[in-house]
Amino acid sequence: MATTADQPRDAAPRLVVAVLGAGVMGGAVLTAILDAQHAGPGDVRVSTLDPEAADRWRARGVLVTGNAEAVDGADVVVVATKPADVAGVLDEAGPRLKPGAVVISLAAGVRLALLEGHLPAGTAVVRVMPNTPAVIGEGMSALSPGASCSPEQLELAQQLLGACGQVVTVPESAQNAVTAVSGSGPAYLFYLLEAMIDAGVLLGLSRPVATELAVQTAYGAASMVRRNGTHPGLLREQVTSPGGTTAAALRTLDAKAVKAAMMEAIEAAARRSAELA
C-alpha cells in the first residue's frame, strides 16, 4: 500500500499522551516528551488547576481539559497530581482508559497497590521517583513496574522518562531509598553549595565569584565521576596531597563527622518516605 510524505512506511506510531496535573514535575516531563518529539502538541492533553499553566499549554497548542476527558484515547497517562489527590483522580479518569494504556505515576510515596486498586484490572502501571533537575533535562528517575506492566510497556516508560535525564529500574521495595538518595538529593547538594558560597564570601570573595567557583566545581566534579566511572573516593584521594590544603579541609570535615551526618540524614529521609507511604 502506498505511503504519503506525512506518514512514511517506517514511521513510529504517534503517541497520544495525557498529563494529569501539569505543574512543575508533570510540566517538565511533558516538555521533554514534546521536545524529544515522542508526541506532538496536537497529541497531548493536560489537566491542571493552575490558570497560568493552562494558558502556557494552550499557547503551545496543547488541549487543556478535565481529567476524564484527557485520558480518552491516550496511550500514556502521566499522573503528576499531589499524592493526596491521586486516588480521586484515578477514580475519575480510570473508567475512560483505553485498553493497553500505560499509567505512569510521578506522585511521591504512592504505592503500586494503591494505583492499581483505583484503576481497571490489568492496567499497566509504572511508579516513578523523579527529581527536580528533570526541568532542565538532567533529572534522575527510578521506575518500578506494576504486576501487569509488560517489558514493552516498561521500555516505553523508560524512553519517555529518559527525555528528562537518566533512568534506572528498581523493585518497588527500593523506592524509599531512591527517594532519600536522588529524590531529596538535589536539596543536599544545594545545601552544600550554599555553604561553599558563604565560605567564599567569608574569605573575601564577591558572592557572584564565589557562586561561579562553587557551581562549576560541583558540576565538573560530578561530570568526572560520570565520565570516568571512577569511585569518588579514588578521585578524592587524587586531589588530596599529603599535608596540603585539601587534607586540612577533609580533616576538619572528618572531625565534625560530616560523612556520618550525611548518611544519617539520608537514612532519616528514607524512614520519612516510608512513613508517608
Residue of 104, 53, 102 whose CA lies nearest to 78: 104
Q: Is the pLDDT of residue 247 over 70?
A: yes
Which residue stretches of 203-257 are H helix? 207-228, 232-239, 245-255
Q: Is the pLDDT of residue 11 over 70?
A: no
Q: Is the pLDDT of residue 221 over 50?
A: yes
User: Would you state the pLDDT for residue 13?
Assistant: 55
Written as nine digits, the cell of 7 is 506518514
According to the CATH classification, is domain 17-171 in 3.40.50.720? yes
164-188: pLDDT as tens digits? 999 999 999 999 999 999 999 999 9
- Give the residue-averaged pLDDT of 241-255: 97
E-strand ranges in the chain read 17-20, 44-47, 63-64, 76-79, 102-105, 124-129, 139-145, 165-169
Distance, CA of 6 to CA of 187 (rounded, Å): 45
So where are the chain's domains? 17-171, 183-276
Residue of 125, 128, 46, 44 whose CA lies nearest to 83: 128
Query: How far, CA to CA in Å, does 31 sit from each of 125, 160, 162, 269?
Result: 21, 11, 12, 29
User: Which amino acid belongs to residue 270?
Assistant: A
CATH class belonging to 183-276: mainly alpha
User: Which amino acid belongs to residue 45?
Assistant: R
Quick one: CA torsion of 210, 214, 219, 222, rounded to 10 degrees?
170
Query: How far, CA to CA in Å, does 63 sit from each of 42, 106, 135?
Result: 7, 21, 21
73-131: pLDDT as tens digits? 999 999 999 999 999 999 999 999 999 999 999 999 999 999 999 999 999 999 999 99
76 with 156: CB under 8 angstroms? yes
Of the candidate ranges 11-15, 42-46, 214-218, 234-238, the one whose mean pLDDT is the lowest:
11-15
19 with 46: CB under 8 angstroms? yes
Residues 6+ apart with CB under 8 A from 142: 128, 129, 167, 168, 169, 170, 174, 175, 178, 182
User: Would you state the pLDDT for residue 8?
Assistant: 39
Looking at every residue in the chain, the average pLDDT score rounds to 93
Distance, CA of 4 to CA of 2 (rounded, Å): 7
